[in-house]
Amino acid sequence: MGKIDIFTDDKLYVANTYARFNVAITDGNGCTLIGSDGKKYLDFATGIGVNAFGINDEEWKDAVVEQINRIQHVCNLYYAEPQVKLAKLLCERTGAKKVFFSNSGAEANECAIKTARKYSYDKYGEGRYEIITLKESFHGRTIATLSATGQDAFHTKFAPFVDGFKYAEPTMDGILKCYTDKTCAVMVETIQGESGVNVLDGDFLKNLEKFCKERDILLIIDEVQTGNGRTGYLYSYMAYGLEPDIVTTAKALGGGLPIGACMMFGKTEYTLSAGDHGSTFGGNPVACAGAYSIINRIDDALLLEVQGKGAYLTENIKRIKNVTEVTGKGLMIGIGTTKPAREIAQKCLDRGLIVLTAHKRVRLLPPLIITKPEMDEALKILNEVISE
């Protein structure tokens, strides 16, 4: 094989499904990423909310390497301790009763959708299978989770989609318009990440919970992006005192390795039984060992820090000229400006700051361990780019 040119060979050989920025990331340390040309970048994207403890996180690396040195994969027909340890920790920290492990956020949501339908099938028989999701939501890229995603733009090219999803405005009126005697669940993100860091109203969430409880409709919270400390709470629903029936998560859970989790609370504890669901790689011991070291360190002290850092960034971003609004919670921040978001992201990149976009907004998902000097550096660059 000849010499690789990352940029031209990527276009030649890798499916062109991503609108990549013209940078290759090769290394990193803490909250800094290093490009193939040696240039340093301050990381306010964490690989889309994944590397929450930064790069070269020693505790996570130790946990992962220790497990690799023992065994890299165990099939799910046998018991394996890393999976049990992580499931127990997640249950203790959330009150969930059972955890199903997958490899991604979309798959965690697939499990939630199957669990909700099975719960209803077991109790009410056939036909009660509809799930209400919200307009502007994002739940994944598989056919079922695309079907669950409430954005028309995703519903054109890959028909036919999965039947049984209805898209509501994020109000009780909106929910009532979609509700029928076939409704078995409602699935929401408390903050819609991909569609602009749209924060749902807390009263709406509480009313929705009550509405669901009264009708035995399952409340599913998609915490794939908002979870694992991102919003200043271990899971964002905790900020509202909600009692969901199913919570899904992924992204930061694995600290950089692929893992997703579908957490089943009281009502759905025994819904899935042997043969109902499965995954070859789901609950991989290396991914689980890494995830354990992540969740185990997201304690109250860290969560308070995340809240403080989020408030500091938000206050200072609000002061920047041409910023029209700042949305989000904790270290999940959306910035509305008078300029195109992609242009801002490109200009930040040129100045050594990596940020994300989400529809019309600039989106920040910095590492939870970001420091004050690093936040000040990012604010300086954001100020230069947005106010110019």
* Tokens describing residue 190: 């408390």
* Tokens describing residue 133: 């999701």
- Residues 80 and 78: their CA atoms lie apart, in Å, by 7
Q: How far is CA 232 from CA 166, 219, 361, in A?
A: 31, 22, 21
- Chain centroid offset of residue 261 CA: 11
Q: Kindly tell me which residue out of 30, 35, 47, 140 binds ligand PLP, with binding defined by CB under 6 A.
A: 140
Residue with tokens 């209803």: 120
Question: Nearest to residue 278, comparing CAs of 118, 96, 111, 146?
Answer: 111
DSSP state at residue 201: P
Give the nearest distance from C-beta 144 to ligand PLP in angstroms: 12
Name the one range near ligand PLP by CB under 6 A: 204-212, 220-228, 284-292, 329-337. Answer: 220-228
Q: Kindly tell me which residue out of 225, 228, 231, 327 binds ligand PLP, with binding defined by CB under 6 A.
A: 225
Name the one range near ligand PLP by CB under 6 A: 127-135, 138-146, 281-289, 375-383. Answer: 138-146
Question: Nearest to residue 168, comparing CAs of 157, 180, 158, 181?
Answer: 180
**Contact criterion met (CB below 8 Å) for 370 and 364:** no
Q: Kindly tell me which residue out of 43, 110, 136, 194 binds ligand PLP, with binding defined by CB under 6 A.
A: 194
Q: Kindly tell me which residue out of 57, 110, 222, 245 binds ligand PLP, with binding defined by CB under 6 A.
A: 222
* Total residues binding ligand PLP (CB under 6 A): 15
Q: Does residue 256 touch ligand PLP according to CB under 6 A? A: no
Name the one range near ligand PLP by CB under 6 A: 123-131, 137-145, 163-171, 374-382. Answer: 137-145
Q: Does residue 189 touch ligand PLP according to CB under 6 A? A: yes
* Tokens describing residue 145: 């989770």
Name the one range near ligand PLP by CB under 6 A: 54-62, 175-183, 188-196, 295-303. Answer: 188-196
Q: Kindly tell me which residue out of 118, 128, 139, 309 binds ligand PLP, with binding defined by CB under 6 A.
A: 139
Q: Does residue 250 touch ligand PLP according to CB under 6 A? A: yes
Name the one range near ligand PLP by CB under 6 A: 58-66, 128-136, 187-195, 236-244. Answer: 187-195
Task: Compare residues 220 and 323 and give the one whose CB is closer to ligand PLP.
Answer: 220
Name the one range near ligand PLP by CB under 6 A: 136-144, 293-301, 336-344, 379-387. Answer: 136-144
In the beta sheet, which residues pair with residue 167? 133
Measured in degrees and rounded to the nearest 5, phi and psi for residue 26 equal -115, -30
- Residues 239 and 374: their CA atoms lie apart, in Å, by 27
Task: Give the residue at shortest CB distance from ligand PLP.
Answer: 105
Measured in degrees and rounded to the nearest 5, phi and psi for residue 50 equal -105, -55
Task: Kindly give the residue spans of alpha helices, DSSP state H, lying in the chain.
Answer: 6-13, 46-49, 58-68, 81-94, 105-124, 143-148, 172-178, 202-215, 285-295, 300-318, 341-350, 372-387
In the beta sheet, which residues pair with residue 263? 99, 247
In the beta sheet, which residues pair with residue 198? 192
Give the nearest distance from C-beta 103 to ligand PLP in angstroms: 8
**190-216 per-residue burial string, b: 16 or more CB within 10 A, e: under 16:** bbbbbbbbbbbeeebbeebbebbeeee
Give the nearest distance from C-beta 165 to ligand PLP in angstroms: 14
What mask, x for binding ligand PLP by CB under 6 A, covers residues 345 to 374? ------------------------------
Task: Compare residues 356 and 386 and give the one whose CB is closer to ligand PLP.
Answer: 356
CA atoms 107, 109, 115, 120: torsion sign: negative
What mask, x for binding ligand PLP by CB under 6 A, covers residues 87 to 116? -----------------xxx--x-------
What mask, x for binding ligand PLP by CB under 6 A, covers residues 55 to 84? ------------------------------
The footprint of ligand PLP (CB under 6 A) covers 104-106, 109, 138-140, 189, 193-194, 222, 224-225, 250-251
